Copies of this chain bind each other. A is one copy, B any other.
Amino acid sequence: MSLNEFDIIQQYFSSLTQSRKDVMAGIGDDCALLVPENGKILAVSTDTLVAGRHFLSDVDPASLGHKCLAVNLSDLAAMGAQPCWVSLALTLPEVNEVWLEKFSQGFAELANRHKLQLIGGDTTSGPLSITLTIHGQVEKASVLKRDGAQDGDLVCVTGTPGQAAQALKNINNGSFVDEQARKALDWPEPRVATGIALQGLATACIDISDGLMADLGHICSASNLKAVVEKSAVPGCGNDDALLDSVLTGGDDYELCFTVPEKHKDRLAQIAEQTGVSISVIGRMSEGQGVEIIDDAGQIIDMTDKHGYMHFS
């Protein structure tokens, strides 16, 4: 049986194409027509996942549907933006109805939880890859950028980074992968509620999809400051150097790293309570450049050649 691209949208994604009042026209014309809220800023992000590069071709299609959207939602979370609309460009080697059914379920479950509407896209034939462009909205004064960190701000991170990287290492080694690590790899949960709760509190924010070191490094360079991180304060690090490596440089984490003035420290526990996502203070911003990791004695740990994940590097 063959399906054309209209049928694919109709059959598998129709539950996602009609929900929001700010969509004047969704799928079905040359463009979607959207009604932005007056005075708000539009936050837009695009991510591509390619089979064999970002995921294995035999990955559970439900987790793939979830994860490709989670990766994009995480970018909105990092700006403190409210998710609104998403377009999905799906390139498929064949029309596999079982695959499409599962993929769309994984995608829809997460989209519906965030009241996100599918407003367009393209379905093409070719090697499996997925490109999403996601749109969120945020008040101009509340947007979380990378360049606002101040000298003395606390450096914080949500959840337990490094689990996805550790799961991938163990899979590649043929080692045991525990359920929590597997979930972090295949079903990451974007920190949308935390990002929104941090509006007006955080001075800078980023998601750590390229690894904590690399992404905190982006906050440092954009804010023209140094971050000093205490190894023992980083959740999940322990004394295992392999774990330390995964946590600091692993990538494929969808946690947030942010900076916040010390006066707001008490609010962090409340936000963690409200959102059900832990927040750890792992260090402090100061004058200087780059990211320093220090041990309990205050000695700098040599992290030479530890960089985040980069394509084509």
Contacts and interface: CB of A to CB of B under 8 A. Distances in A.
Contacts of A146: 28-30
A47 interface: yes
Nearest to A78: B30
A91 interface: yes
Contact of A32 (B25, B45, B53): B45
Interface size class, chain A: 35 or more
Contacts of A47: 89, 122
Given A5-B312, A46-B133, A79 B122 contact: no
A38 interface: yes
A297 to B, nearest CB: 35
A126 B44 contact: no
Interface in A263-305: none
Nearest to A147: B29
A87 B33 contact: no
B120 A46 contact: yes
Interface string A38-54: 11111111111111111
Contacts of A30: 45, 74-76, 78-79, 146, 206-207
Interface in A23-39: 24-25, 28-36, 38-39
Contacts of A74: 30
Contact of A46 (B34, B42, B52, B87): B87
A88 B39 CA distance: 26
Interface of A: 2-6, 8, 24-25, 28-36, 38-54, 74-76, 78-79, 81, 85, 87-89, 91, 95, 119-127, 129, 131, 133, 135-136, 140, 143, 145-146, 206-207, 222, 310-313
A199 to B, nearest CB: 14
Contacts of A133: 46, 87, 89, 133
Contacts of A28: 146, 222
Nearest to A195: B30
A140 to B, nearest CB: 7
Contacts of A310: 4-6
Given A25-B145, A124-B50, A3 B33 contact: no
Between A2, A24, A29, A75, the greatest number of chain B beta carbons within 10 A of the residue's beta carbon is seen for: A29
Shortest 10 CB-CB contacts between residues of A and residues of B: A50-B126, A31-B43, A30-B78, A133-B133, A131-B131, A127-B127, A36-B36, A34-B42, A30-B75, A46-B87
15 contacts: A3-B312, A29-B78, A29-B146, A31-B75, A31-B136, A32-B43, A35-B140, A42-B42, A44-B120, A44-B135, A48-B89, A89-B133, A122-B131, A127-B127, A127-B129
Contacts of A126: 50-53, 127, 129
